[in-house]
Structure 1
């Protein structure tokens, strides 16, 4: 079994938890509280900004041509696709720059981003790349699953449509193939780091839904 399939199996509890989390099930049913979705979008704005920066940083450091090309493409696609769509959502929902600045970054969003940066500092380029895969892969699978039933709330349906389709499937397939190749050529220590990085990111994906659903905040709010 390949690295990516083994890693997904190791992260199966958090992976399955994401599909069954009330944020996801209620979003598809059209009953998710709009304030929860709003809070998610604001926290995701912070996350995606750093996710894009991480693509660029890892691409700059890697000597693997296919990985470098993929990460550069990912960063470009993120700006043109997901981030652009989020800006449209912000406009429709009246989420202003002032509101974003006034909303503290939630602990889970902060920790997830910190985890991925940490791979560049204490891990390896390959473990950093492995930490990035669960986001794209999980969202692609969520999109393909949720698209089978139309959400009655148009903005929720458009969120789902962002991640569904053949193009997303092919892109994740390529990213997985590159990581499988890198894993095979890595030392046992680096392989363990890649596995750990993937599993932690998968856990953080589940925690991100929980963070948004409960509007998680730091205990001290008056920073």
Structure 2
């Protein structure tokens, strides 16, 4: 069994719970309160700062140019998306420069990203990729499953752009490359290593669930 298959099997029940989370379901039917989405977008913006750093850490874990290039290419792709898509999206929602500058990361957000960085810094290239993959793959999973069930979500004036961003061919292909890289680097792993990598993947998936919670409960912050 491929490592990616082991990882998916370990979190399938968690990821399926995302599909029924009120933040996701209300985005899909267009009834999510806009202030909750604004809060989510701001938290996602600060999340991306550390998410990008995990790619940077991964680039230090190899002396091979192709491996370094893989991490750097992905790091710059996320940076490019942040400036070309994420920030303009926030501004269309009415989020101001002041809002962006003054956003305070939720404690669960900070805990998540510091965990990713810790596992990346204390592990190897594979540890970095596993920490990154939970977010990337689960978003690809969510968008694909929701769109299969309700294609009209792609047309929603406010949330359609979110679903399109992760459902589109480009994003799905980029995510598949991450999965392939994980499988390519996972030959001859000991059971102890597989168990550790699975633990990282499960923990990051639990953090993803907490991220949806913090976004939906944003009225309390």
**TM-score of the pair, normalised by structure 2:** 0.89
Query: Structure 1 residues 217, 64: closer, same or farther in 2, change over 3 A?
Result: farther
Report what 2:177 is aligned to. Answer: 174
Report what 1:144 is aligned to. Answer: 144
Q: Which runs of 5+ in 1 are unaligned?
A: 219-223
Query: Structure 1 residues 80, 101: closer, same or farther in 2, change over 3 A?
Result: closer
Query: Structure 1 residues 217, 8: closer, same or farther in 2, change over 3 A?
Result: farther
Query: How much has 1:96 moved relative to structure 2?
Result: 2.2
Residues 51 and 113 of structure 2 are in contact (CA less than 8 Å); yes or no, is this contact kept in structure 1? Answer: yes
The total of aligned residue pairs comes to: 218
Query: How much has 1:205 moved relative to structure 2?
Result: 1.2
Distance in 1 separating the partners of 2:83 and 2:214 = 20
Query: Structure 1 residues 2, 217: closer, same or farther in 2, change over 3 A?
Result: farther
Report what 2:90 is aligned to. Answer: 90
Q: Which runs of 5+ in 2 are unaligned?
A: none
Query: How much has 1:95 moved relative to structure 2?
Result: 1.5
Task: List per-residue Cα deviations over 1:47-76 (Å, max 9, x = no partner).
Answer: 111111221221132345554332222112
SS of 1:140's equivalent in the other structure is helix
Query: How much has 1:82 moved relative to structure 2?
Result: 4.6
Residues 53 and 117 of structure 2 are in contact (CA less than 8 Å); yes or no, is this contact kept in structure 1? Answer: no
Distance in 2 separating the partners of 1:68 and 1:190 = 22
Report what 1:100 is aligned to. Answer: 100
Query: Structure 1 residues 216, 187: closer, same or farther in 2, change over 3 A?
Result: farther
Query: How much has 1:79 moved relative to structure 2?
Result: 2.0
SS of 1:130's equivalent in the other structure is helix
Report what 2:55 is aligned to. Answer: 55
Distance in 2 separating the partners of 1:177 and 1:66 = 14
SS of 1:150's equivalent in the other structure is helix
Residues 107 and 216 of structure 1 are in contact (CA less than 8 Å); yes or no, is this contact kept in structure 2? Answer: no
Distance in 2 separating the partners of 1:59 and 1:197 = 19
1:153 and 2:156 are equivalent in the alignment:
yes
Q: CA RMSD in A?
A: 2.1
Task: List per-residue Cα deviations over 1:98-150 (Å, max 9, x = no partner).
Answer: 22343321011111101111113333332122111011111112222333422
Query: Structure 1 residues 64, 154: closer, same or farther in 2, change over 3 A?
Result: farther
Distance in 2 separating the partners of 1:110 and 1:73 = 25
Residues 18 and 209 of structure 2 are in contact (CA less than 8 Å); yes or no, is this contact kept in structure 1? Answer: yes
Matching residue within 192, 196, 207 for 1:193: 196
1:202 and 2:205 are equivalent in the alignment:
yes
